[in-house]
Amino acid sequence: MRRGLLRGRRRPIRDEAAVQRMQHFTPAKRRLVSALPVLLLLAIGSTTALALHHFLFLRERVWESRTTFEAAEAVRRDLAAAEARQHEYLLSGQPAELGRYWQAVEEVRRAVAYLAGRTAGDAELSRIVARLAALANGEIAVLDRSAVSQAEGDAAGAMRLATTEDDQATRAAVRREVDGIESVIWARVGNDRARERVAAAFAYVVLALGVVASGAVVVLLRWILLGYAEAQAKAVEEELQERRKAEAALAEREAAEAALRGSEEQFRTLADTIPQLAWMADASGSLFWYNRRWFEYTGTTLEEMRGWGWRAVHHPEHVQRVVERVQHSWDTGEVWEDTFPLRSRDGEYRWFLSRALPIRDADGAVVRWFGTNTDITDQLQAEAALRLAKEEAERANRAKSEFLAAMSHELRTPLNAIAGYVELIELGIHGPVTEPQLASLERIRVNGKHLLALIQDILSYAKLEAGRIAFEIRELNVAETLLGIIPLVEPQMQKKGLTWDFLSCDAHWSMLGDRERVRQILLNLIGNATKFTDSGGSIEVSCSTDEQRVHLRVRDTGHGIAPDRLERIFEPFVQLERHLSESSQLGVGLGLAISRDLARGMGGDVTAASTPGVGSTFTLTLPRSLNGVDARLASGERRRKRRGRPDSAEPGEQPGSA
C-alpha cells in the first residue's frame, strides 16, 4: 500500500556533485537564478499565448462567418420549401398540404430571425439582412394570400397570385440579397484565413523558440538543483494526502455498503408482505431468494429451491414448457410471462400468472431478475363457470326457438282447416245458413285470421332467432313500393275514421331491399299507427334520402311513447299498455322486434321518435341504390347478425302485427 502511494511522487536527487554545487549558492543567488528561467518561460509563454489567442480569434471569426453563410442559405432554402409547399397545396387543395405550407412559412420566419440575430452587430450585413427580411416578408405575404384564396375556393385567383411578375421579381431580389450576404461573408473569410495562416506561422516559430528555451532551462535547472528540500517536503505531504484520501474512500465505501444492506432489508420486508409469491435470480437465471409467501405456500426451504430447485413444485405436464420459455428470457433479456400450476404444501395444484422483469446496470447489462407468481385459480374457475352458463343459456335459447317454430307450424295447420270449413259453411255446402249464423262465422273467420297472424309472428321470430330467413336483395323503386301499400292499409284507416297523407316521392329514387320484407315492415309500422291513433287523428307517410340511405317515415298523432320505453318497444314480447288502443287484438309484441331485425338484415334499421301526447314517428332506413342494382348484393344472399349469430328471413311470409 505504501509503495503504491509513493510510486508517483518525485524521486530524491542522488547526484552528489550537484548537491555540492547547490551549497555554493547563497539564498539571494538562488532566488536570482531561479527567477531568470521563470521570466524566460513567462515571456515565451505569453508570446505563444498571444499568438494562439489571435489564431483562435481568427478561427472563431471564420466559423461565425460560415455559420452566418449557412443561415443565409437556410433562408433561401426555407423560402424555396415554402414555395414548393404552396404549389403542392394549390395543385392538390388538401388541408394536410396547407398545414405543411404554414409549417414551412414558420421555418422561413425563424431562419430570417436567426440570421438577423447573427448579424445584429455587423452594420453592413445588418442592412442587407434588413432588406432580405423585408423581401422575405413580402414573399410570405404573397404566398399567404395565394394560400388563403385556395382555401376559400378561388383556385384560379390563388394561381394568379402565385405567378405574378411582382412575385417573380421579389423572389429574384431575395436571391440577390442572399448572394450579396454570401459575397460579403466569403470576402471576409478569405481575409481572415490569410491572417490566420500568418498567426499560425508566428505561433509555430514562437513554439519552436519555446522548445529551445525550455531545453536551456532544463540544463540550467540541472546545474542549480533548486528546491530539493522543498520537493522532499512536498513528496511527504502528498503521501499523507493520498493516505487520507484512501482512508476517506474506504469509510465512504463502508457507509455505502451499510446503506445498501439497509435498503435490501427494507426490500425483503416489503416483498414478504405482498400477497404474491416473489423471487429473485441472478443474470444466468439461478434463483437465490424467495419471499416468505413462497415458502408458506410450497412448504419448502431455500436450500431446496436454490438454483433450479423450483422445478420440484411444478406440475410434471407443464414443467418442461415452463423451463424452455423462461430459459429463452434468461438468454435474450426479454420480459418473461407464463401461466402454469404450482403445487402447494398440501399437494393441491393452483394456477398462477407469473412474470419476471430484468434489472439492468448503467450499461444495460442484466444483473438480476425479479419475478412474481399471482394466484389466478379463482378467476379461471369463475371464467369457466361463466362460459358454462353462457353455453347453457344459448342451448336454452335455441331450444326455445325450435319449440316456437314447431308449435307455430303445428298450430297453423288446424287454423287453416278451420278457416276452410268456415268458408264451406258460408257457401251453404252443408245446408242453408241464417244471418245470425253468418255473423258468427264472420267473427270466427276474423278471430282465426288474428290468431293466424299471431302464430305467423311467432314463427317469423323463431326463424329469425334460428337464422333461417334469407333475403332476396334487389333494387326497389321507392314511390312504387309506397303506392303498393296504400290499398292494403286504406280500409283500416277509413274504418277507424283517420285521415292520412302519403306524400309523393321522387320517381327516380331507388333503394336496395327484399320486396316482401320491406312491404311487411311498412304494413307493420302503418298498422301500429292505425291501432294507437284515436278516431279523428291523422297518419302521414313520407320519404327522404341522403347520399347513402333512403328514409321512409310513418308519423301519427297517437298517444305517444314515454322516453324510458322508447327502446324497449323493439324488444320481443314487449307492447304498450292495452288501454292506449281501442283495438281488442293487439298481438303479442313481436311486430316491431321482427321489423327491426328484418331491416337490419337488409343493411338498414328501424328507429323511433315520440313525444307523449303529440304522437310518434317510426323511420325505416335502407341502403340507397344510385346506379342500378348493387352487384355485390344482387349476386347473392345478404346474411345478417343478431345477438352474436346470423339471422335471415324467407320470402312469402305474411306481414306480422304489432
Residues 174 and 59 grouped into a single domain: yes
Residues 157 and 175 grouped into a single domain: yes
The whole-number pLDDT of residue 645 equals 36
The whole-number pLDDT of residue 632 equals 40
At 413-443, the pLDDT tens digits run 676 777 776 777 777 777 787 788 777 777 7
Question: pTM for the whole thing?
Answer: 0.37
Q: What average pLDDT does this structure show over 596-625?
A: 92
Q: What average pLDDT does this structure show over 518-526?
A: 91
The last residue of a domain, from among 342, 375, 408 = 375
**In this structure, what CATH number is given to the domain that contains residue 50?**
1.20.120.1730
At 249-304, the pLDDT tens digits run 888 878 777 766 666 676 677 777 788 899 999 999 999 999 989 999 999 999 99
Residues 281 and 266 grouped into a single domain: no
Number of domains in the chain: 5
> Is pLDDT of 124 > 90?
no
H-helix or E-strand spanning residue 126 = helix 123-151
Residues 127 and 266 grouped into a single domain: no
- Quote the percentage of the chain above a pLDDT of 70: 69
At 348-364, the pLDDT tens digits run 999 999 999 999 988 88
H-helix or E-strand spanning residue 544 = strand 538-545
> Is pLDDT of 157 > 90?
no
> In sequence order, which residues have a C-beta less than 8 Å from that of residue 566 and are 6 or more positions away?
608, 609, 610
At 303-317, the pLDDT tens digits run 999 999 999 999 999
> Is pLDDT of 648 > 60?
no
Residue 459 forms part of a structural domain:
no
Instruction: Label residue 5 by pLDDT band (50, 70, 90).
Output: very low
The last residue of a domain, from among 350, 375, 400 = 375
Q: How far apart are CA 425 and CA 442, in angstroms?
A: 11
Q: How far apart are CA 580 and CA 569, in angstroms?
A: 14
Q: Are 21 and 225 in contact (CB under 8 A)?
A: yes
Q: How far apart are CA 232 and CA 13, in angstroms?
A: 10
The whole-number pLDDT of residue 103 equals 79
Q: Which domain holds residue 623?
A: 467-647
The whole-number pLDDT of residue 649 equals 36
Residues 343 and 477 grouped into a single domain: no
Instruction: Label residue 327 by pLDDT band (50, 70, 90).
Output: very high
The whole-number pLDDT of residue 435 equals 80
Residues 358 and 474 grouped into a single domain: no
Residue 76 forms part of a structural domain:
yes
Q: What average pLDDT does this structure show over 152-176?
A: 67
Using CA atoms, how far residue 219 sits from 43, 212, 226, 228, in Å, is: 18, 11, 12, 16
Using CA atoms, how far residue 18 sits from 9, 13, 386, in Å, is: 21, 9, 102
Lowest-confidence region among 36-50, 214-228, 609-623: 214-228
> Is pLDDT of 243 > 70?
yes
If we measure between CA atoms, which residue out of 615, 614, 482 comes closest to residue 541? 482
Residues 264 and 357 grouped into a single domain: no
Residues 61 and 48 grouped into a single domain: yes
Q: How far apart are CA 577 and CA 572, in angstroms?
A: 15
Residue 26 forms part of a structural domain:
no
At 183-203, the pLDDT tens digits run 777 776 777 777 767 777 777
Task: Count CB atoms within 10 A of the CB of residue 45.
Answer: 13
Residues 105 and 243 grouped into a single domain: no
Q: How many CA atoms lie within 13 A of 139 on its CB side?
A: 28
The whole-number pLDDT of residue 436 equals 80
The whole-number pLDDT of residue 382 equals 92
Radius of gyration of the chain (CA): 49
Instruction: Label residue 595 by pLDDT band (50, 70, 90).
Output: confident
Lowest-confidence region among 107-116, 137-146, 359-368: 137-146
The last residue of a domain, from among 329, 359, 375 = 375
Q: Are 323 and 369 in contact (CB under 8 A)?
A: no
Dihedrals phi, psi of 542, to nearest 5 degrees: -140, 175
Strands 549-556 and 510-513: unpaired
Q: How far apart are CA 182 and CA 75, in angstroms?
A: 12
Q: Are 523 and 538 in contact (CB under 8 A)?
A: no
> Is pLDDT of 456 > 80?
no
The whole-number pLDDT of residue 275 equals 83
Q: Are 587 and 548 in contact (CB under 8 A)?
A: no
Q: How far apart are CA 127 and CA 119, in angstroms?
A: 9
Q: What is the mean pLDDT of the chain?
A: 76
**In this structure, what CATH number is given to the domain that contains residue 296?**
3.30.450.20
Instruction: Label residue 1 by pLDDT band (50, 70, 90).
Output: very low
Residues 279 and 268 grouped into a single domain: no
Paired strand residues for 281: 287, 369
Residues 236 and 304 grouped into a single domain: no
Q: What average pLDDT does this structure show over 378-385?
A: 91
Residue 212 forms part of a structural domain:
no
Residue 655 forms part of a structural domain:
no
Q: Are 68 and 118 in contact (CB under 8 A)?
A: yes
The whole-number pLDDT of residue 647 equals 39
Please provide the size of the chain in residues. 658
**Higher model confidence: residue 593 or residue 232?**
593
H-helix or E-strand spanning residue 103 = helix 95-118
> In sequence order, which residues have a C-beta less than 8 Å from that of residue 299 and are 6 or more positions away?
344, 345
Residue 218 forms part of a structural domain:
no
Strands 615-623 and 605-611: antiparallel
Residue 503 forms part of a structural domain:
yes
Q: What average pLDDT does this structure show over 590-612?
A: 89
**Sheet (strand 615-623) strand order:** 499-502, 538-545, 549-556, 615-623, 605-611
Q: What is the 3-state secondary structure (H, E, C) of 182-230?
A: HHHHHHHHHHHHHHHHHHHHHHHHHHHHHHHHHHHHHHHHHHHCCCHHH
> Is pLDDT of 618 > 90?
yes
> In sequence order, which residues have a C-beta less than 8 Å from that of residue 582 and are 6 or more positions away?
496, 531, 534, 535
- Quote the percentage of the chain above a pLDDT of 90: 26
Lowest-confidence region among 128-142, 460-474, 636-650: 636-650
**Higher model confidence: residue 167 or residue 308?**
308
> In sequence order, which residues have a C-beta less than 8 Å from that of residue 278 and are 6 or more positions away?
271, 290, 291, 293, 294, 370, 371, 372, 373
At 524-567, the pLDDT tens digits run 899 889 988 999 999 999 999 998 999 999 999 998 888 888 88
Residue 293 forms part of a structural domain:
yes
Which triple of cell numbers denotes residue 647?
Answer: 339471422
**In this structure, what CATH number is given to the domain that contains residue 523?**
3.30.565.10
Q: How far apart are CA 373 and CA 389, in angstroms?
A: 29
Instruction: Label residue 584 by pLDDT band (50, 70, 90).
Output: very low
The whole-number pLDDT of residue 373 equals 93
Q: What is the 3-state secondary structure (H, E, C) of 49-100?
A: HHHHHHHHHHHHHHHHHHHHHHHHHHHHHHHHHHHHHHHHHHHHCCHHHHHH
> Is pLDDT of 111 > 70?
yes
Q: How far apart are CA 621 and CA 596, in angstroms?
A: 10
Encoded amino acid at 312, one letter: A
Which triple of cell numbers denotes residue 303?
Answer: 436450500
Which triple of cell numbers denotes residue 411?
Answer: 298450430
Residues 547 and 437 grouped into a single domain: no
The whole-number pLDDT of residue 357 equals 93
SS3 7: coil
